[in-house]
Homo-oligomer: A and B are copies of this chain.
Amino acid sequence: MERGAPPDVLLQRPWLPVSISGVQLLAKSWFGETEYHVLLTDMQCVWGERMDSADIEKRAQELNRRLRAPVKAFFSHLSEVVRPALTGSGGGEDGEATISVTHQDDGNIGMKLKSELAGLPFYWEFHCTPAPVTVVCSQLVRPLLAMSFLLQRQVEQLGGLLGRKDAEIHDYRENGATLSRERLHTEVFEERTYREDYMSKAVPLLCSDQSDALRFDGDLQQLYGAVVSCTNSRKRKLSEEPSVEETLVDKPNNISSLGGSVVDSGAAQDVQLEAAGARRPNRPTEKQSLPSAPAERPSLKPKKKKVGLFR
């Protein structure tokens, strides 16, 4: 049974920098009606967990022996309590809920939640195991390579523009123009020299900043959003074409469609790009709204009826 968010939906979520019990991570999460899909990374590894309704019910019973409420009754509580921690939008610790992260000997990551539901303790545990390599590729590797490629083209474009401004300046000066303030003078931009300087000086300096590994800042978030929007536009167009995997068997001279699930020829939609351009993914208070019907939010039972949730 296919669990968790449709891959497209999770891909559209930004990687948000979070700090849970002092552990710095990037997190992506999707909470459906009674299911969730969480991805975490510290850039050394990527972990994930997908749980459907049955899984959640079973674990909830194991962790909360007195609980007898259906999943829908407590799931909204669970997602409300854990959301601040997974979106970096709040302490996650408000006196009623505590969340902690543990790195386990077997390479897994555990997140333990203690909260209060209808006056009684409610416990939850996320058991995150190393994500499949294909997930790491779709959620991180391909978008990051696309981002690098796009940024490199931007650098070239700006370099070209600098060259044109130098030509304009040269024309003014050749015709006798002088600056009223000499400090406004700029050197001629020489692309190769600039790049070599950047490689030899700026790169080690920037690399020495220890938070680099998690520096998925606002600009990069925006570019990530634009890139994954393209990906989804492409996927919808490709849905009736042969899968990429079928093209991997010995076929000479024709596998230029490899990676076709990310990119392909043809016009792209820009509907989602408008959304991507307008979206500011570094707002940690971003709500987890789905393109499809939002998750039902059953109201919590008032305390006097707590016997309805717990035995």
Residues of A within 8 A of B (CB): 19, 21-25, 41-46, 100-103, 109, 130-134, 136-138, 140-142, 144-155, 157-159, 161-162, 164-169, 171-175, 177-181, 184-186, 189, 196, 198-200, 202-217, 219-220, 222-223, 226-227, 230-231, 233-234, 244-245, 248-270, 273-274, 276-277
CB of A230, distance to nearest CB on chain B (Å)? 4
Copies in the complex: 2
Q: A133-B46, A145-B216, A204-B270 are in contact. Are A101 and B250 (CB under 8 A)?
A: yes
Interchain CB contact under 8 A, B250 and A22: yes
Contact yes or no, B43 A141, CB < 8 A: yes
Residue from A130, A208, A262 whose CB has the most chain B CB atoms within 10 Å? A208
Per the bound structure, the CA–CA distance linking A157 and B154 in Å amounts to: 12
Which A-B residue pairs are the 10 nearest by beta carbons?
A: A213-B259, A204-B268, A103-B248, A177-B177, A151-B151, A207-B230, A144-B144, A22-B252, A158-B158, A165-B165
A169 touches B171 (CB 8 A): no
Residues of B within 8 A of A165 (CB): 162, 165-166, 169, 186, 189
> Can you list 26 A-B pairs with a CB-CB distance of less than 8 A?
A22-B254, A24-B258, A42-B248, A43-B259, A44-B137, A101-B250, A103-B248, A142-B213, A144-B145, A151-B155, A154-B202, A155-B158, A161-B189, A162-B165, A168-B185, A171-B179, A200-B273, A203-B223, A203-B226, A208-B230, A208-B264, A208-B266, A210-B256, A211-B263, A213-B259, A214-B259
